[in-house]
Amino acid sequence: MVSASSIRSGSTRDRSGDPIEIPAEYKYAIVMGIAMDKEAVMTSPAFTSATATGVGYSRMAFTIACLAQFIRNLRYSAIPMGNDTALSIPLAIDAGLGQLGRNGLLITPGYGPCVRICKVFTDLPLKPDRPIDFGITETCKDCNKCATACEVRAISFEREPSYEVASPSNNEGILRCAVNVDRCYEFWVENGAAYSNCIATCPYTHRSAT
């Protein structure tokens, strides 16, 4: 699953708080969703689920490295990125790969939230795709399966999205059901591996092709 997005300026910072400036000529992001093994994810919170996450990250690294080199071979510039340097979900939404779900993840039409996202920033001239709407915001209002399945109540049960944040790690000014990502990550640490109940229980994962 591949799509392109134009890049807007942001405020990415490194761990020291210093801004990371992407040169202005990198106008586009090629955003990709890497499908994870659905059957393995369904075993969450068992370690088998974490292997799907790990394999997803490995496939991300391979794919962005190959694509970036292909673009450089065309005599353009490319910066491959996994989770780092820029937030993947907003770029994926802008690129039309899916919509934001109650679980704070990208929900794609073909694979639900059972994807990992990566991107390549480039100056290769591209025609950006557009955001899509296949009804996720309305579906999430009456679903709540991910919120019920989350053992640490990191996912909101509020019916309507709002601008409220749920943890210091949430960015402000975004209309959504904010996830307490700090509580989520603490449980990852306690569990000893990635925890994917919010992916495993989503109806869009069950409908996916993988």
Residue whose CB is less far from ligand SF4, 116 or 145: 145
Pattern 63-102, binding to ligand SF4, x per CB under 6 A?
A: --------------------------------------xx
Binding status of residue 38 toward ligand SF4 by CB under 6 A: no
Binding status of residue 178 toward ligand SF4 by CB under 6 A: no
Neighbours of 165 (CB within 10 A): 16
Residue whose CB is less far from ligand SF4, 52 or 120: 52
Binding status of residue 208 toward ligand SF4 by CB under 6 A: no
Binding status of residue 108 toward ligand SF4 by CB under 6 A: no
Binding status of residue 203 toward ligand SF4 by CB under 6 A: yes
Minimum distance, C-beta of residue 66 to ligand SF4, in the bound complex (Å): 31
Binding status of residue 110 toward ligand SF4 by CB under 6 A: no
Residue whose CB is less far from ligand SF4, 146 or 178: 146
Please pick, from the candidates 88, 180, 201, 208, the single residue that binds ligand SF4 as defined by CB under 6 A: 201
- DSSP collapsed to 3 states, the chain: CEEEEECCCCCCECCCCCECCCCCCCCEEEEEEEECCHHHHCCCCCHHHHHHHHHHHHHHHHHHHHHHHHHHHCCCCEEEECCCCCCHHHHHHHCCCCEECCCCCEEECCCECCEEEEEEEECCCCCCCCCCCCCHHHHHHHHCHHHHHCCCCCCCCCCCCECCCCCCCCCCCCCECCCCHHHHHHHHHHHCCCCCHHHHCCHHHHCCCC
Backbone angle region of 75, left / alpha / beta, with phi > 0 → left and psi within -120 to 50 → alpha:
left
Pattern 120-149, binding to ligand SF4, x per CB under 6 A?
A: -------------------xx--xxxx---
Binding site for ligand SF4 (CB under 6 A): 101-103, 107, 139-140, 143-146, 201-204
